[in-house]
Each structure stands twice: as structure tokens, then as C-alpha cells.
């Protein structure tokens, strides 16, 4: 089944403890992206990647890192999480540029930083 998977789905952690949220797609998609969703703010793009070893900052990249060493994986790294990074995170992928190809979203990861 074609899908975007995220792990973990739920995570509660403490301030400053490094964490990684994994994202994997099995559709050989070139474009991958991370978003955070907060009440009243909608979705905001954190980072996106057009292909392996190519990443770009979105609207809110501060406090996050990403890497794209393999086409299928696009992990989101929080080196030193803070409470303001408590949010619902979505990974998404598309076959190519989203202007031409549909973007598929993962199920989301709910992160709480205390």
C-alpha cells in the first residue's frame, strides 16, 4: 500500500532531550516536506526537500534540522526541544513539484515538550 509513515505517532518528552521523528514513503517520491499544525495558525512548513541531499527552509525552520540521505526517508530532528515546539507534526511527499503532483500526508505525530 502506497503511504507516508511517521514514527512515533505520539511523544511526550522533556525540554532539551534530543529527539527524531522519522518519515518514510514507499512511492519513490522526490519531494518531501515537514509541517507543524497549531490551533489558530493552520499548517506551517518547516523544511522541504526536492530530492536526495537537497533541503530548503520553510516558514518556521528555527529549532529543527532535517536530512535527506535516502529518497524514501526524511527525518525531523529536534536537537534541544522546547515547550514552544509542542505541536502536531505532519510529513508529506509528492512525486515531483507539488504544482504538478499531489502531495500525500502522513498520519501525524503529536509531540508534547514539558
Partner 1 sequence: AQSVTQLGSHVSVSEGALVLLRCNYSSSVPPYLFWYVQYPNQGLQLLLKYTSAATLVKGINGFEAEFKKSETSFHLTKPSAHMSDAAEYFCAGLSTGNQFYFGTGTSLTVIP
- Rounded CA-CA distance 77/110 in Å is 14
| Residue with smaller CB distance to partner 1, 85 or 94 | 94
Query: DSSP code of 84?
Result: G
| Residue with smaller CB distance to partner 1, 99 or 114 | 99
Taking CB under 8 A as the binding criterion, the range among 19-27, 56-64, 65-73, 78-86 that sits at the site for partner 1 is 56-64
| Residue with smaller CB distance to partner 1, 58 or 75 | 58
Taking CB under 8 A as the binding criterion, the range among 13-21, 39-47, 70-78, 79-87 that sits at the site for partner 1 is 39-47
43, 44, 68 from 51: Cα distances, Å: 22, 20, 7
42 counts as binding partner 1 under rule CB under 8 A: yes
- Rounded CA-CA distance 33/88 in Å is 14
- Rounded CA-CA distance 110/114 in Å is 13
Candidates 96, 92, 97; CA nearest to 76 is: 92
102 counts as binding partner 1 under rule CB under 8 A: yes
Give residues in contact with partner 1 (CB under 8 A).
4, 31, 33, 35, 40-45, 48, 50, 56, 58-59, 90, 92, 97-100, 102-103, 105-108
Amino acid at each position: 500500500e502506497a503511504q507516508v509513515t511517521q514514527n512515533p505517532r505520539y511523544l511526550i518528552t522533556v525540554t532539551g532531550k534530543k529527539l527524531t521523528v522519522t518519515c518514510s514513503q514507499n512511492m519513490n517520491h522526490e519531494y518531501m516536506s515537514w509541517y507543524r499544525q497549531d490551533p489558530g495558525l493552520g499548517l506551517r512548513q518547516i523544511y522541504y526537500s526536492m530530492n536526495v541531499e537537497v533541503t530548503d527552509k520553510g516558514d518556521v525552520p528555527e529549532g529543527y534540522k532535517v536530512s535527506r540521505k535516502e529518497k524514501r526517508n526524511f527525518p525531523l530532528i529536534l536537537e534541544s526541544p522546547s515547550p514552544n515546539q509542542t505541536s502536531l507534526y505532519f510529513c508529506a511527499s509528492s512525486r515531483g513539484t507539488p504544482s504538478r503532483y499531489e502531495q500525500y500526508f502522513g498520519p501525524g505525530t503529536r509531540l508534547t515538550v514539558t
